[in-house]
Amino acid sequence: MAAIQILIVEDDPMIVEMLVVMLRKLGYGVSGIATSADEAIMQAIQSTPDLVLMDIGLEGRANGIAAATIIYQFFSIPVVFCTAHSGGEIINLAKKAQPFGYITKPFNERDLFSVIEIAINNYLSTRPSGTDARKFKELLYLDAGVIFLDTSGRVLFMNPYAEHITAITHKQGFYHSVDKVINFEMASKTQKKYESLWEAIRESVVIGTGHDIIITTRKGKRKAVHLKVMVRKNNRNEIVGYILKLEENIGKSRTLNRY
């Protein structure tokens, strides 16, 4: 039987080193190490771990709670929080991420083994059938741009082709409003005008149709793109975000950039 693969999300190098040693001694594999929320999401897609050990106090544009929420709700990967707090407001906030366990620093190998085994068993007994995070790895090789947004329109993930279309990296766009990441206009004057891309996205969900748009990158390149929007729901059938698919018309893009 293959070893359980664990993604470590921690910005303290000493704790990372300790966790790697402990996990390997206990027979687990380390699928990757991330030091920020944007790295954690990309690593979750690239390495498809069985479980994530997340520093609840992670610093950056998004904290550990936000990162855990995204990873579980979008990719159905269970998360265990590593925390220096055994109670209080931060634990109440963390509950919203639906973690599968907590481990309080400092901890020993026995503590770590117990929380991981319980978390994995609980996840396997409650996950919906057909759940498989490995399918998201295919997004890295798709010949179309894919962008994940939360319910506020913030960018959570950009695949390589989306980076190519927008000339913005996943790291640069992460947790910024989609309107700050993508400069757009409608492809035709006969199309309805929108105040923002976020407005067009929300309306697309309601009416169930896509949009032909022109994206202008920060380098001045113009891209002819067909935008499709899909809703992402969690296992409670609640909307947790949106998935954008950007299909570029290469011929039209070349024409746009001739003038």
Q: What is the pLDDT of residue 91?
A: 76
Q: How far apart are CA 158 and CA 133, in angstroms?
A: 16
Compute φ and ψ for 244, nearest 5 degrees: -100, 135
CB 37 within 8 A of CB 62: yes
Among the listed residues 96, 102, 126, the one whose alpha carbon sits nearest the alpha carbon of residue 115: 102
Among the listed residues 229, 227, 225, the one whose alpha carbon sits nearest the alpha carbon of residue 216: 225
Q: What is the pLDDT of residue 32?
A: 96
Identify the DSSP state of 141.
G
CB 11 within 8 A of CB 55: yes
Cα–Cα distances (Å) from 121 to 1, 95, 125, 171, in that order, read 16, 19, 6, 33
Among the listed residues 77, 34, 42, the one whose alpha carbon sits nearest the alpha carbon of residue 58: 34
142-256 topology per CATH: Beta-Lactamase (3.30.450)
- Residues of the chain whose pLDDT is less than 70? 1, 85-88, 128-133, 259
Q: What is the pLDDT of residue 138?
A: 87
Q: What is the pLDDT of residue 208?
A: 77
CATH code 3.30.450.20 region(s) in the chain: 142-256
Predicted confidence (pLDDT) per residue in 215-236, tens digit: 999 889 999 999 999 999 887 8
5-133 topology per CATH: Rossmann fold (3.40.50)
209: three-class secondary structure by DSSP = coil
CATH code 3.40.50.2300 region(s) in the chain: 5-133
For the entire predicted model, the pTM comes to 0.90
Q: What is the pLDDT of residue 259?
A: 64
